[in-house]
Structure 1
Amino acid sequence: MESVDKIKVAVAVLLLLAGAVAYQFVPAVNGAARVGMLLASMLAAFAVFWVTALRRDFVDYARDAWKEAKKVVWPSKKETWQTTLVVFAFVGVLALFMLIVDKGLTWVFYELILGRK
């Protein structure tokens, strides 16, 4: 990234921070004006960011990611439900196993070793 772009990104971040600070620490202004200041700072930050190379890189990345997402073979509804049911069944079996182990260890420690009931 060029130094000019770094400066632009820094300015955009500072604009966002200035808007957030103005929103928080200028309570004398009514609510609509505070929201307006925040939105104006966000819009100004977006405008500054829009002219950077980083924006172009991000747009290219997002476009490529969208193309790749279209290429993915997503599972059918039936496969999704079957997988979900298998996961729920496994969680149930694991919970039952953990309950049995917990009760067994409780019995061993409290009744056999410590003699409590």
Structure 2
Amino acid sequence: MLTAYYAPHNSFSRFIPSLALAADLRGVARVVDGDTLALWDTRIRLHALHAPEIDEPRGREARDVLRAIVEPKPITCRAVDRDRYGRIVADCENAEMQEGGGAGETEEARG
């Protein structure tokens, strides 16, 4: 499971219908940066994960590692909150992770 930085409940949470956070989001996501995905027009911040911004040192490397894990495989995300920017904060996994591959292991790491 992809996890990391947790954003605690905030003022956005009061305006989110509970069903929006309860439903799983599924599909093929596009990696925005090292800790954010886009699933259709929805931005998803990975729960408990903090990576450098794309323009910071190692930001592009963080994005590329996440791409190797996520793209182009279907993922399932379970929303847990919204952050201060309105993005869904979620725990996400793909079939490889469900089978025990683990988020931190790419082919390079296993090889």
Shorter chain as denominator, the TM-score bin is under 0.3
Structure number with greater Rg is: 1
Q: Which has the larger share of helix?
A: 1
TM-score (normalised: structure 1): 0.22
Q: Which has the larger share of strand?
A: 2
TM-score (normalised: structure 2): 0.23
